[in-house]
Amino acid sequence: MGSCFSTAATKVTGSSSSSGNPAAAPNDNQKNPSPQHHHHQVRDPKPQHRRRGSGSVACGKRTDFGYDKNFDSRYSIGKLLGHGQFGYTYVATDKANGDRVAVKRIEKSKMVLPIAVEDVKREVKILKALKGHENVVHFHNAFEDDNYVYIVMELCEGGELLDRILSKKDSRYSEKDAAVVVRQMLKVAAQCHLHGLVHRDMKPENFLFKSTKEDSPLKATDFGLSDFIKPGRKFQDIVGSAYYVAPEVLKRKSGPESDAWSIGVITYILLCGRRPFWDRTEDGIFKEVLRNKPDFRKKPWPSISNSAKDFVQKLLVKDPRARLTAAQALSHPWVREGGDASEIPIDISVLSNMRQFVKYSRLKQLALRALASTLNEDEIADLKDQFQAIDVDKNGVISLEEMRQALAKDIPWRSREPRVLEILQAIDSNTDGLVDFSEFVAAALHVHQLEEHDSERWESRSQAAFEKFDVDKDGYITSEELRVHIGLRGSIEPILDEADIDKDGRISLAEFRRLLRTASMGSHTLPSTPGVRNPHKF
């Protein structure tokens, strides 16, 4: 339940679990993996749902879940918050007291497989098990009628974690701020583990603040990949979001320890604004996770406290047996209440890095690259000359410093220096200050298209880029077309939702062009949907 629509994180799914219990929901996280990256060793040779064999048999008639049947007499449904594969989430009002809640309405007609029914029952079971925890979205009740299942839960209107950090006044953000957030996440993980439950998808996007108040609690809102596991057993499937997945998940031998790893990744991001394991492909990320160690040398790490570094390092231990558990981590001096997390503001560059991390999505990058692919040979040759002139050390990438030096000379775009640097920094998705040729081309084209998007040339190029995604040529890009073309595994709806302004579940040419026009940072970023930000999603 309840993850955020703004995220573009990649999900990865694998084969059946050894837990003996239903695994993750076959919702947006449950679609078959893409054939892309087939060479990587952790890829399932035969993509399939992560469930037992029951998934191949249709349900037939609609299931009676045994839930209360009086939803309409208890609640009135209001505005739409968001949608997923099986239904919609709304704001609703309790007729008895006027309280506002979030209601996930799931269509029974779409639950044609027994595994889909299991998923709903399992989700309700998890929410009931965790009910009452201060950092878990509150579960009110489950209802049903002939057509729908209704899951009624707490409405979180305080926004997403990273957005809250970036909105801090005077950019004052300290280790203590990060520690407060991490402590709440650890409490959720520890509570899950106490109930024999593994969250399996700990990431910033799956947490919302209850309200906009400064002291608002952070709430875990998405348990779509969570599953129960017996002591001593291990999951054998590969699930989660690529940047946060633990090494043992990729080795198909994971348990509760994987949640602690994911929180270690989150803490690393909160302290420096960069991901500890990064590559341009999903498989590359997995290799980084399996083989390499996080970098604690680049700014701002030299100015981060030793206690904070020790905490992160003890969570990012590749051997799960040597890693701190969530419960143990809560006792670490850096994260515990009244601990030694510094209140000195962290280097401003962290917020800059984090802003890029949050705002510049994978879909925007891919859309720009598709647009860049419409350049003709002469234009490409011209850009190669420019790239090589800027790449002074001839290492195949240009640093932002090389770009600044080039702009100080008589090289094209000098008059556009602020815009060029901003776009290059945005497209540098690893925030490591290095831009390759394909990123350079996308940035170059973006500089021009911002100025020429009303021209015939822009119209033609943007349509050609759109048609690269619109496989069936029906004038719309669907989630499945994005999956096939882009090669993303797992959750695709949050990525599509970013450009899907009218929320009809697909991207029109006009919406695609709007995405391209807003594909840089700052004032050109897509505005959020009016009303509640980051609605509950499934």
**294 in Cβ contact with 310 (< 8 Å):** no
**Can you give 98-166 as a three-state secondary structure string?**
CCEEEEEEEEHHHCCCHHHHHHHHHHHHHHHHCCCCCCECCEEEEEECCCEEEEEEECCCCCEHHHHHH
Look at residues 166, 189, 169 and name the one whose alpha carbon lies nearest to residue 178.
166
The pLDDT of residue 25 is above 70: no
The pLDDT of residue 254 is above 60: yes
- The tokens describing 502, both together, are 């009218």
Helix residue spans in 130-256 (DSSP H): 161-166, 175-194, 247-250
| CATH class of residue range 161-347 | mainly alpha
pLDDT mean over 206-211: 94
The pLDDT of residue 265 is above 60: yes
- Give domain limits for the chain: 53-154, 161-347, 361-520
361-520 homologous superfamily: EF-hand (1.10.238.10)
**538 in Cβ contact with 1 (< 8 Å):** yes
The listed range with the strongest mean pLDDT (124-138, 212-226, 376-390, 427-441) is 124-138
The pLDDT of residue 43 is above 80: no
Binding site annotation covers 104?
A: yes
Tokens 């410093």 appear where?
401
User: Catalytic residue at 72?
Assistant: no
- At 386-439, the pLDDT tens digits run 788 778 888 888 876 777 676 666 445 444 555 555 555 555 655 556 777 777
Stronger pLDDT, 482 or 35, i.e. the higher one: 482
CA separation for the pair 199, 208 (Å, rounded): 16
> What b/e string do you get for 483-514 counting C-beta neighbours within 10 Å, with b at 16 or more?
bebbbbbbbbbbbbbbbbbeeeebbbbebbbe
Three-state DSSP class for residue 306: helix
- At 335-389, the pLDDT tens digits run 999 899 988 887 766 666 655 555 556 677 778 778 777 777 776 777 787 788 7
| H or E element that contains 76 | strand 75-83
Neighbours of 223 (CB within 10 A): 29
pLDDT of 258: 98
Share of the chain above pLDDT 90, in %: 39
Helix residue spans in 278-347 (DSSP H): 282-291, 306-315, 326-329
Hey, which residues does 144 pair with through a beta bridge? 149
pLDDT of 370: 80
pLDDT of 348: 60
Neighbours of 224 (CB within 10 A): 27
Confidence band of 280 (pLDDT split at 50, 70, 90): low
Q: How far is CA 103 from CA 85, 96, 430, 528, in A?
A: 15, 16, 37, 21
**84 in Cβ contact with 27 (< 8 Å):** yes
Give the CA count within 13 Å in the CB-facing half-sphere of 405.
Answer: 11
pLDDT of 356: 57
Pairing of strands 87-94, 218-220: unpaired
Three-state DSSP class for residue 90: strand
pLDDT of 491: 53
pLDDT mean over 225-239: 93
Look at residues 312, 27, 326, 320 and name the one whose alpha carbon lies nearest to residue 195.
326
The listed range with the strongest mean pLDDT (19-33, 40-54, 404-418, 468-482) is 468-482
Confidence band of 48 (pLDDT split at 50, 70, 90): very low
Stronger pLDDT, 306 or 372, i.e. the higher one: 306
> For residue 252, which phi and psi values (nearest 5 degrees)?
65, 35
DSSP string covering 4-31: -TT--PPB---S--SSSS--S-SSTT-S
Handedness of CA 331, 337, 338, 340 (dihedral sign): positive
The pLDDT of residue 222 is above 80: yes
Q: pTM higher than 0.85 for the full model?
A: no
The residue annotated as part of the active site, out of 44, 119, 177, 201, is 201
CA separation for the pair 152, 2 (Å, rounded): 11
pLDDT mean over 475-491: 69
pLDDT of 278: 86
| CATH class of residue range 53-154 | alpha beta
